[in-house]
Chains A and B, each alone.
Chain A
Amino acid sequence: MIEVFKQSLTLMWQGMLAIFTVIFAIYLVLSLFPKIFKNKK
């Protein structure tokens, strides 16, 4: 059980890091969109 608990803590930081990495990368790209693509509508 202790081993599984330690694995769950590793999963927590690795998982949140992975999610935030993807999300932050998407955020950076989305922030650049208005500069690259002007809305022609």
Chain B
Amino acid sequence: MNYLLQGITATTWQQLVMFGIGAILIYLAISKKLEPALLLPIGFGAILVNIPFSGALHTTLPGIGEVAGILEWLYEVGIQASEAMPLLLFIGIGAMIDFGPLLSNPKLILFGAAAQFGIFATITIAALLGFPLNDAASIGIIGAADGPTSILVSQVLKSDYVGAIAVAAYSYMALVPIIQPFAIKLVTTKKERAIRMPYNPKSVSRMARLLFPIIVTMFAGYVAPASVSLVGLLMFGNLIRESEVLKSLSDTAQHVLVNLITLLLGITIAASMQADKLVRVETMFIMILGLLAFIFDSIAGVLFAKLLNLFSKNKINPMIGAAGISAFPMSARVVQRMGQEADPQNHLLMHAVGANVAGQIASVIAGGVVLGLVPGMLV
């Protein structure tokens, strides 16, 4: 009869905590609709991998030997081997993005760069807390506000905290409507938030739309070669979209590919959420540091906009800087809403969208830059 009770008797309190975390993530996904495409699979996967002797992980059966578990196999093949899942997802994301608002107002791209500062500020704080550089960098990249980038960088740098980093990244992306208003109000006045920006888009030529993904890939690749896979696949997806001769591939990338990879990515990430890896003090620090990363990103974007205003005749609403994070389109909507709260006649959406898509480019460049610089510092 022992075999009926062995699972129950082998359950640790950490596994019970993970069941609770899994349940909370599922609740947030279904009831609060926070990033359900990722949080629901991650939450359910967390339950799957924490059941004692779970067949979803590699197990050793007496008399048989090692038996592969599907989730651990998916993790080894889809993430550990070559980060295939997050990278292939970028093709779909690139196919979904319309860079028109950015191309019609190029200076918005600068806010994408500024809003990546939170990554590096968080790395510094993580270092002060005692994390080794590879883990600190992996934690800091939560500030890229991009799930696939966070997973990829933390996996390449062989961080011990891939699971916690993924949960933090996706959770905070979903919480942008709460985090960003708080951060923006810390460094702006109502008068600044009410600054109007007329929208007079310049037309964008087809050639510009076609050359843009190629140019971004080349420039990013030459400065940060490690970013070629990240930026390259994002821009490949965008080129498929803009070519207008591959409509079925573009549709497939935007829908079938994105849905398929998203379906597998969330539950695969759960393979790194075993209780002994997640239920520790460091996870709590990671959740706090991830939150700080988002706050610093927003503040840095706003302060950069204020800096540009010192030299600009046409004032920029500083909140546009905060839209330079990669959380698209939530961040743009937050800025639009806050602008209208300060002045109901103010319409900032298209400016914010331009900065927001710039943030998507800058965040993958930031991921590549971190991957290019950190390994050299580890030797």
Which residues in A have some Cβ–Cβ distance to B below 8 Å? 1, 4-5, 7-12, 14-16, 18-27, 29-31, 33-34, 37-41
- B362 and A8 within 8 A (CB): no
B146 CB to closest chain A CB, in angstroms?
A: 14
Q: When the two chains form the complex, which single residue of B117, B128, B365, B372 contacts A1, counting CB atoms closer than 8 Å?
A: B128
B357-368 Cβ-contact flags toward A at 8 Å (1 or 0): 010011001100
- State whether A10 touches B377 (Cβ < 8 A): yes
Chain B, 76-129, CB within 8 A of any chain A CB: 102-103, 106-107, 109-110, 112-113, 116-117, 119-121, 123-124, 126-128
A22 and B206 contacting across the interface, CB-CB below 8 Å = no
27 pairs, A vs B, C-beta closer than 8 Å: A1-B127, A1-B130, A7-B127, A8-B120, A8-B124, A11-B370, A11-B377, A12-B123, A14-B373, A15-B120, A15-B373, A18-B223, A18-B372, A22-B219, A23-B358, A23-B361, A26-B109, A27-B110, A31-B106, A33-B103, A33-B106, A33-B204, A33-B205, A33-B211, A34-B202, A37-B205, A39-B204
Interface band, chain B: 35 or more
Which of A1, A19, A31, A33 counts the most chain B CB atoms within 10 A? A19
CB neighbours (8 Å) of A11 from chain B are 120, 123, 133, 137, 370, 373-374, 377
Determine whether B7 belongs to the interface, using a CB cutoff of 8 Å to chain A. Answer: no
With most chain B CB atoms within 10 A of its CB, the pick from A11, A20, A22, A37 is A22
Determine the residue in chain A with the shortest Cβ distance to B223.
Answer: A22
Contact status A22-B203, CB under 8 Å: no
If A8-B124, A26-B215, A34-B202 touch, whether A16 touches B136 (CB-CB below 8 Å) is no
Contact across chains for A15 and B109 when beta carbons are under 8 A apart? no
Closest to B212 in A: A30
State whether the Cβ of B64 lies closer than 8 Å to any Cβ in chain A: no
How far apart are A20's CB and chain B's nearest CB, in angstroms? 5
Would you give the 0/1 interface string for B167-209, flagging 1 where the beta carbon is closer than 8 Å to chain A?
A: 0000000000000000000000000000000000011111110
Given A4-B127, A27-B110, A40:B133 Cβ within 8 A = no
A6 and chain B: residue at smallest CB distance: B127
Are A7 and B377 within 8 A (Cβ)? yes
B133 and A12: CB pair below 8 A? no
Are B133's CB and A4's CB within 8 A?
yes
**Cβ-defined contact, B137 with A40, below 8 A:** no
Q: Name the A residues within 8 Å of B116 (CB-CB).
A: 16, 19
Provide the main secondary structure of the chain B interface. Answer: helix
By the criterion CB–CB under 8 Å, are B123 and A33 in contact?
no
A8 to B377: give the CA distance in the assembly, Å: 9
Answer whether residue B260 sits at the interface, using C-beta atoms and an 8 A cutoff. no
- Known contacts being A16-B120, A23-B365, is A8 close to B203, with CB within 8 Å? no
Interface contact B224-A29, CB-CB below 8 Å? no
* Chain A contacts for B203, CB-based, 8 A: 39, 41
Q: Is the CB of B30 closer than 8 A to any CB of chain A? A: no
CB distance from A22 to the nearest CB of B (A): 5
Report Cα–Cα, A5/B130, bound state, in Å: 9
Query: With A8-B127, A15-B119, A16-B116 as given contacts, are A24 and B369 in contact (CB-CB < 8 Å)?
Result: no
Q: How far is the CB of B379 from chain A (nearest CB, A)?
A: 11
**If A26-B219, A40-B206 touch, does A4 touch B110 (CB 8 Å cutoff)?**
no
Q: When the two chains form their complex, are residues B208 and A33 in contact, meaning their CB atoms are under 8 A apart?
A: yes
- A21 CA to B202 CA, complexed, in Å: 25
**A1-B127, A11-B374 known; A37 and B120 CB under 8 Å?**
no
In contact, A19 and B109 (Cβ under 8 angstroms): no
**Residue B70 lies at the interface, judged by CB distance under 8 Å to chain A:** no
B207:A37 contact, CB within 8 angstroms: yes
Asked if B132 is at the interface of the complex by the 8 Å CB criterion, the answer is yes
A31 to B104, CA, bound (A): 9
A4 contacts which chain B residues (CB < 8 A)? 127, 131-133, 136
- A34, B207: Cα distance in complex, Å: 10
Could you tell me the distance in whole angstroms from the C-beta of B255 to the nearest C-beta in chain A?
A: 26
